[in-house]
């Protein structure tokens, strides 16, 4: 009972606040002085009465208090407050029955203070001595008042019960005040819970003391019953204590895990760095873990020895009593290794100086410890550290099995957490560094450069490209190319020094950040790098020449003006400086300058804003394209195709056009490649296909069978779901598949024919007409033409243009017509602009003609006008209307 809610002054090494130490010392002295004053007052009120028999009674009470102190069970240790059950109310109740105040006070002080001294809790002796005096003084005062109120000559059991119950309440209230003095803040609910628990346990213990005394003195042979009752009560409390110990162990494990997790999150938020990130944990975190283990075990000292890297020395953290200075830097391996650090395995060892082997006895002596629990922390490959717990405080018998289980489980969790942190550090290093050269990669360079540019805006980013990279890969293989990249990375590092941020972006591309530099300095550095990287690379018995091109951009450039630093820029430029500090933007500008240097044949070139206009225009086109389709800026034009020699209008080719509000009419060659690169070509294909099928359906409703041809991209041929989308569009618009022609370029098919074949076969099975566009411009199409499920070929217009003047072109066209017919394909000639070319094609047997001679690409409205003005209507064989081109 004297340790109900006892402030653990020795457990405050985390805070280690001298002011709080002084406050608690002053408070302890006040409690002791007040207790002595209360004891003097009660002694004057209740003078000593008794003879020599009180000596034997006092000795028995001392024995009783000592026994209950040693049978005490720990209930909770949280935040520097220790709360234990010690059954003190039982001998106190008996003392109220049979002994005067002075005897019970002396017996209680001898047992309580002696136990504290034996447990080496010297810094709590003053406070607990005063609290114990207060408990006995209050108990006898309440007992006397209640007994007087009840009346009677013999001690009344009710007065004894109330007096014994007042003692734990007194100690608990004093402890709450001590908690406040120590700077610990307990919520009202927690304080109420503590008082209520104390009251309940005090009721039980006081009841047992009163009932036991009454039964022992008033019932014949009642002693066995009393002993059985006390044994059962002690067993019940012991079981309760075991459950609460398990709960506390789980809480301790959870708290340790949370501390490691929080420190891991803080470490993960640090800038990209090397393997030293594993050690980037606050010492307070590790000290908190050590302190939590110490509290849980009730040890005098807990030592964490941690090794974050196999090549680094151990980092030592101590909670509790200080170690000798030579006990911090110990070697875990080798001939001079400390005995407790070179233990094999990862299970718990329990050493006592009295019975340990000489080497372990010497290690304990150096630590000034009588006993120790030692657990190695190991990963699968090496030692991560060691946990040591020295000297149990709260038991004379030392560490028990529960302590061994607790420290073993905690060490296992801690080893796993440390191994995970090491793995996290490795993964983080790999995520921000190039595996080939060890330099930063793009994300690592972005993170480090962003941090540096925030504090050093006057900096320059360089972008370097090794020009021989792809040639080496093609000629000698990627292994040789990697050797050149590694050698180039070393030369860059040697030229720039270790402190300059340097990254390999991809392939033979590198990036450099020159902090606090201007364009003049950057040009000098670029010249040095060109000279260094241009020297031939000796690889085995070869000597390989490699050129380099450099582009660079300043972080303090705005509106075409360069400033050495942001403070020298005009206020308007300085206001816009944060936007210019984006690393990706600087890399993009440096890349633009690099391309400009390649185009001009220079080795190094600085970025100027005019270079970015072309890329800005392309960026605007890509970002505005989807909205332009929705607003009608992007439209579909149609170019008619006629049959030869009948001149019947067979269909049209759908061609996309874009009238931009800022740039005017845009040719497809300008925006379609950008759209394909941005991954929007599927949306463009769907748009053109949908508009074209709507137009075909309109013609069908008027009795016209005019087909439409839509161009496909290479991306569509790689999409296995594309045929299903075409089938759905045909069904949605109720258009027969033979009225839809899908044109694919010869180069697109030949880029990956095996991948395109499944999609082509699925489209062919739908009944869609497949045409090979720009036929004749490829190199290997003839070998695959027989395998491709195509229905027609379109002769590239470059051959058709030269038919009238170039016999070679004429021969090529004739050969394609004959080849197509021999394979059963329809042959279409595009680019027909002259009557002579049309007549020659008709004479060769070409099936379809398309070109400016017939019509330019027309908008939907102009196409309708062209059909009315340039064609004649006739009834076809299937009762459909046939349009024939007029001469």
Alpha-carbon gap, residue 823 to 785, rounded angstroms: 9
How far apart CA 105 and CA 62 sit, in angstroms, is 10
Asked if 540 and 573 count as a contact pair (C-beta separation under 8 A), the reply is no
* CB atoms inside a 10 Å sphere around CB 197: 18
The Cα 676–Cα 685 span in angstroms is 11
β pairing state of 6-7 and 81-85: antiparallel
| Cα–Cα nearest to 253, from 65, 476, 50, 405 | 405
Mark out the alpha helices in 367-468 (DSSP H runs): 401-432, 442-455
Residues 6+ apart with CB under 8 A from 82: 3, 5, 6, 7, 8, 11, 74, 76
Distance of CA 513 to the CA centre of its chain: 26
Of 586, 592, 424, 409, nearest in space to 514 by CA: 586
Radius of gyration in angstroms for the set of CA atoms belonging to the chain, rounded to a whole number: 46
Q: Residue 648 gets which letter from DSSP? A: B
Residue 709 has phi, psi (to 5 degrees) of -110, 130
**Terminal C-alpha separation, the chain:** 119
Count CB atoms within 10 A of the CB of residue 33: 12
Other C-beta atoms lying within 10 Å of the C-beta of residue 36: 15
> What residues are paired with 514 via a beta bridge?
460
Q: In Å, how far are 432, 509, 606 from 587, measured between CA atoms?
A: 17, 11, 12
The structure tokens listed for 161 are: 């019960």
Nearest-angstrom CA–CA distance, 230 and 93? 14
Query: Annotated catalytic, 830?
Result: yes
Rounded-to-integer distance, Cα 608 and Cα 561, Å: 9
The values of phi and psi at residue 408, to 5°, are: -65, -45
Question: Of 798, 871, 791, nearest to 825 (Cα)?
Answer: 791
Give the three-state DSSP class for 748: helix
Task: Decide: 608 and 560 in contact? Cβ < 8 Å.
Answer: yes
Rounded to the nearest 10 degrees, the angle between the axes of helix 89-98 and helix 157-181 is: 130
Which listed residue (743, 830, 833, 864) is catalytic?
A: 830
DSSP letter (8 states) at residue 231? H
Question: Among all residues, which ones are annotated catalytic?
Answer: 830
């Amino acid at each position: 009972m004297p340790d109900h809610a006892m402030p653990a002054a020795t457990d405050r090494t985390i805070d280690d606040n001298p002011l709080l130490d002084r406050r608690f010392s002053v408070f302890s002295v006040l409690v002791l002085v007040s207790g002595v004053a209360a004891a003097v007052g009660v002694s004057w009120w209740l003078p000593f009465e008794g003879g020599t028999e009180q000596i034997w009674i006092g000795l028995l009470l001392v024995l009783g208090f000592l026994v209950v102190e040693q049978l005490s069970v720990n209930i909770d240790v949280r935040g520097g407050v220790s709360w234990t059950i010690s059954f003190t109310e039982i001998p106190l109740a008996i003392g109220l029955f049979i002994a005067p105040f002075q005897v019970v006070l002396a017996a209680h002080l001898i047992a309580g203070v002696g136990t504290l001294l034996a447990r080496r809790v010297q810094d709590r002796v003053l406070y607990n001595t005063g609290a114990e005096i207060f408990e006995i003084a209050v108990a006898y005062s309440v007992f006397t008042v209640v007994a007087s109120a009840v009346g009677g000559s013999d001690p009344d059991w009710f007065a004894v019960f109330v007096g014994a119950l007042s003692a734990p309440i007194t100690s608990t209230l004093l402890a709450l005040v001590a908690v406040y003095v120590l700077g610990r803040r307990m919520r009202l609910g927690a304080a109420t819970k503590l008082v209520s628990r104390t009251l309940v346990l005090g009721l039980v213990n006081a009841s047992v003391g009163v009932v036991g005394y009454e039964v022992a003195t008033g019932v014949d042979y009642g002693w066995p019953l009393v002993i059985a009752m006390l044994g059962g009560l002690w067993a019940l409390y012991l079981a309760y204590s075991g459950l609460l110990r398990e709960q506390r162990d789980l809480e301790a494990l959870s708290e340790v895990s949370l501390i490691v997790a929080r420190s891991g999150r803080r470490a993960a938020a640090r800038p990209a760095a090397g393997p030293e990130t594993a050690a980037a944990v606050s010492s307070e975190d590790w000290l908190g873990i050590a302190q939590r283990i110490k509290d849980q075990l009730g040890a005098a000292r807990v030592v964490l020895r941690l090794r974050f890297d196999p090549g680094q020395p151990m980092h030592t953290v101590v909670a509790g009593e200080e170690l000798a200075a030579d006990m911090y830097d110990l070697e875990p391996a080798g001939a001079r290794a400390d005995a407790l650090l070179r233990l094999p395995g990862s299970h718990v060892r329990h050493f006592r100086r009295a019975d340990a082997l000489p080497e372990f006895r010497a290690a304990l002596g150096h630590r000034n410890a009588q006993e120790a629990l030692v657990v190695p922390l190991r990963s699968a490959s090496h030692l991560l550290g060691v946990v040591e717990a020295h000297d149990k405080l709260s038991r004379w018998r030392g560490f028990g099995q529960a302590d061994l289980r607790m420290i073993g489980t905690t060490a296992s969790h801690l080893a796993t957490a440390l191994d995970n942190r090491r793995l996290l550090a490795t993964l983080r290093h790999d995520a921000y560094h190039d595996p080939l050269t060890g330099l930063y990669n793009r994300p690592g360079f972005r993170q480090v450069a962003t941090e540096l540019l925030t504090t050093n805006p006057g900096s320059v980013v360089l972008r370097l490209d090794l020009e021989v990279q792809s040639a080496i890969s093609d000629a000698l293989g990627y292994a040789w190319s990697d050797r050149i990249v590694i050698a180039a990375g070393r030369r860059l590092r040697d030229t720039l020094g270790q402190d300059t941020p340097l990254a390999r972006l991809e392939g033979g591309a590198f990036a450099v950040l020159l902090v606090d530099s201007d364009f003049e300095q950057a040009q000098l550095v670029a010249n040095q790098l060109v000279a260094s990287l241009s020297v031939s690379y000796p690889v085995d018995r070869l000597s390989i020449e490699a050129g380099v091109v450099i582009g660079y951009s300043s972080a303090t450039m705005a509106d075409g003006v360069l400033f050495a630093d942001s403070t020298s820029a005009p206020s308007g430029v300085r206001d816009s400086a944060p936007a210019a500090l984006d690393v990706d933007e600087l890399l993009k500008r440096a890349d633009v300058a690099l391309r400009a240097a390649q185009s001009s044949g220079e080795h190094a070139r600085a970025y100027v804003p005019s270079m970015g206009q072309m890329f800005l225009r392309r960026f605007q086109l890509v970002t505005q394209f989807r909205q332009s389709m929705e607003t009608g800026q992007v439209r579909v034009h149609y170019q008619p195709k006629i049959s030869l020699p009948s001149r019947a209008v067979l269909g049209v080719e759908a061609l996309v056009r874009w009238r931009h509000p800022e740039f005017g009419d845009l040719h497809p060659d300008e925006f379609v490649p950008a759209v394909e690169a941005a991954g929007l070509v599927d949306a463009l294909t769907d748009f053109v296909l949908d508009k074209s099928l709507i137009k075909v359906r309109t013609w069908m409703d008027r009795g016209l069978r005019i087909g439409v041809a839509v161009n496909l991209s290479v991306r569509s041929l790689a999409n296995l779901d594309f045929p299903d989308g075409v089938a759905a569009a045909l069904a949605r618009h109720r258009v027969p598949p033979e009225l839809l022609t899908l044109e694919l370029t010869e180069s697109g098919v030949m880029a990956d024919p095996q991948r395109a074949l499944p999609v082509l076969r699925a489209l062919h099975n739908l009944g869609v007409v497949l045409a090979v566009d720009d036929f004749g411009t490829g190199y290997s199409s003839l070998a695959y033409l027989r395998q491709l499920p195509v229905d027609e070929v379109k002769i590239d217009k470059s051959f058709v243009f030269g038919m009238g003047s170039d016999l070679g072109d004429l021969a090529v066209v004739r050969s394609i017509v004959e080849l197509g017919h021999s394979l059963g394909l329809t042959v279409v000639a595009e680019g027909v602009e002259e009557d002579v070319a049309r007549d020659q094609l008709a004479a060769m047997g070409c099936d379809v003609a398309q070109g400016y001679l017939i019509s330019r690409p027309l908008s939907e409205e102009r196409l309708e006008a062209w059909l009315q003005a340039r064609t004649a209507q006739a009834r076809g064989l299937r009762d459909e209307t046939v349009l024939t081109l007029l001469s």
